């Protein structure tokens, strides 16, 4: 597909999606409005009897008409936008930093739905990226002209892109590993898909990458931020169980703020959506929360394999299902955790963690579960947040030491 054609198609897809989601949101607001007004009129009716009925009839007619008009208008606009929209961009949105981050946010939220709809925004799945552009398997040698026998694979987290590893000021982690003789390789994937689905895709991609790498591959290091660390563990487990060649070259893994034991915000969303769905006034908000992607849902327990979700009701209440997946044998496994407080033992730090992931989950160690990290292979950052882990000098220094 030519760049101009791809740009046009992506712009039209984004415009259509934005307007259709606006229509969906209007419908949710409509249900909330009616839920509240119906309760108010029922309460008033206890005191006035049928006297309030004419007012309710007029109110409902006006309300339904306004919201129906808004929904019909935005739906029509979406159809028109999908047919004629375009922007004078030099490159397709997916190949620009801002555009790719917008798409990443959308796919993180509803990426599994977009796959079912065969959306252009989700068709890449898992891809190698150089300067924002996808790299086809046949073009690997040209894309990495200075390739060494050591590869460092960087995998981003939820609603991120490979650009996340270039946040902040230097030194960037890619430069750090390059100084240790590694060739940094960046991936982009649809974070709204199940972690196990992305894990299989990553394993297949790395198998092709190693086969087509310009020089023999001596060692591979896997570096993942947040969800990316789970995707890497899932890929390694899938490769180990299916005798994929690439996994034999892995010498080390590094997880940066990875919720190995799950993320509390997803647990809150899981139970919160059930509570909101019980009442007409809040049912729309419950539906919105329940629409969150499969990838987000997998974060509740840190699920890595299909068995954790296949054949199960995703909205069923109860403990999260997460099979215990062992770390690769004979490999050095490192981890970095963070808390917003100086000490992880601080009560606030225990509850908040780095803002998204708890200290214990990033370390893979709780009373009931242990991933198997060697505590001496970890680094903790105090007074830091989840995204500090992407560009911290202390992490860069430790990364260099670990890989050396």
Q: Domains of the chain: which residue ranges?
A: 3-90, 120-262+322-403
271-298: per-residue pLDDT in tens? Answer: 999 999 999 889 989 998 999 999 999 9
Please give the C-alpha separations between residue 223 and each of 170, 218, 327, in angstroms, as whole numbers. 18, 17, 14
- For residue 72 the two structure tokens come to 């019909």
> Three-class SS of residue 344?
coil
Range of lowest pLDDT (37-46, 249-258, 373-382):
37-46
75-86: per-residue pLDDT in tens? Answer: 898 889 888 888
Q: What is the mean pLDDT of residues 183-204?
A: 97
Range of lowest pLDDT (40-44, 113-117, 367-371):
40-44
Task: Characterize 289-314 residue by residue with b for buried, 16 or more Cβ atoms within 10 angstroms of its Cβ, and e for exposed.
Answer: bbebbbbbbbbbbbbbbbebbeeeee
**Whether pTM exceeds 0.75:** yes
46-78: per-residue pLDDT in tens? Answer: 888 888 788 888 888 888 888 888 888 888 988
**Residue 30 pLDDT class (50, 70, 90 cuts):** confident
d(CA 317, CA 314): 9
Write out the DSSP string of 273-318: HHHHTTSTTTHHHHHHHHT--HHHHHTTTT--SGGGTTTS-TT--S
Please give the C-alpha separations between residue 326 and each of 288, 323, 374, in angstroms, as whole numbers. 35, 10, 13
**Residue 87 pLDDT class (50, 70, 90 cuts):** confident
322-362: per-residue pLDDT in tens? Answer: 999 999 999 999 999 999 999 999 999 999 999 999 999 99
Total length of the chain: 404
Mean pLDDT of all residues belonging to the chain? 93
**Contact in structure between 128 and 140 (CB atoms under 8 Å):** yes
- The pLDDT, as a whole number, for residue 303 is 96
**Residue 250 pLDDT class (50, 70, 90 cuts):** very high
Q: What is the mean pLDDT of residues 371-386?
A: 96
Q: Of all residues in the chain, what percent are helix, strand and coil, respectively (each to 5)?
A: 55, 10, 35
d(CA 100, CA 335): 28
- For residue 387 the two structure tokens come to 């995204």
d(CA 396, CA 389): 9
Q: Does 1 have pLDDT greater than 70?
A: no
- The pLDDT, as a whole number, for residue 404 is 87
360-372: per-residue pLDDT in tens? Answer: 999 999 888 899 9
- The pLDDT, as a whole number, for residue 48 is 82
Q: What is the mean pLDDT of residues 102-108?
A: 95
d(CA 213, CA 141): 6
What would the CATH number be for the domain defined by 120-262+322-403? Answer: 3.40.50.1820
């Amino acid at each position: 597909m030519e760049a101009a054609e791809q740009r046009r198609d992506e712009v039209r897809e984004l415009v259509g999606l934005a307007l259709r989601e606006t229509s969906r949101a209007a419908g949710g607001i409509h249900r909330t409005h009616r839920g509240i007004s119906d309760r108010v009129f029922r309460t008033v009716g206890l005191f006035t009897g049928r006297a309030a009925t004419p007012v309710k009839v007029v109110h409902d007619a006006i309300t339904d008409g306004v919201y129906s008009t808004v929904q019909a208008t935005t739906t029509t606009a979406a159809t028109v936008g999908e047919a004629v929209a375009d922007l004078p961009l030099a490159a397709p949105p997916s190949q620009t930093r801002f555009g790719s981050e917008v798409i990443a946010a959308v796919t993180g939220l509803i990426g599994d739905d977009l796959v079912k709809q065969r959306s252009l925004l989700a068709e890449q799945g898992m891809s190698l990226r150089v300067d924002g552009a996808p790299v086809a398997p046949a073009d690997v040698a040209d894309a990495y002209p200075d390739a060494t026998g050591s590869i460092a694979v960087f995998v981003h987290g939820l609603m991120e892109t490979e650009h996340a590893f270039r946040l902040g000021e230097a030194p960037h982690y890619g430069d750090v590993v390059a100084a240790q003789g590694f060739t940094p390789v960046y991936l982009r994937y649809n974070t709204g898909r199940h972690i196990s689905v992305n894990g299989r895709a990553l394993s297949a991609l790395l198998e092709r990458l190693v086969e087509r790498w310009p020089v023999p591959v001596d060692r591979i290091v896997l570096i993942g931020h947040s969800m990316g660390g789970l995707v890497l563990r899932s890929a390694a487990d899938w490769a180990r169980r299916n005798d994929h060649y690439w996994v034999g070259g892995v010498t080390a893994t590094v997880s940066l703020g990875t919720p190995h034991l799950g993320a509390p915000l997803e647990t809150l969303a899981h139970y919160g959506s059930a509570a909101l769905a019980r009442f007409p006034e809040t049912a729309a908000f419950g539906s919105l929360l329940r629409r969150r992607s499969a990838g987000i849902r997998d974060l509740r327990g840190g699920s890595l394999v299909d068995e954790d979700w296949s054949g199960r009701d995703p909205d069923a209440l109860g403990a999260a299902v997460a099979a215990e997946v062992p770390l690769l044998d004979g490999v050095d496994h490192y981890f970095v955790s963070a808390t917003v407080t100086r000490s992880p033992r601080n009560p606030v730090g225990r509850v908040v963690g780095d803002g998204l992931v708890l200290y214990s989950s990033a370390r893979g160690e709780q009373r009931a579960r242990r991933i198997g990290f060697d505590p001496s292979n970890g680094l903790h950052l105090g007074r830091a947040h989840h995204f500090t882990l992407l560009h911290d000098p202390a992490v860069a220094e430790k990364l260099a030491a670990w890989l050396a």
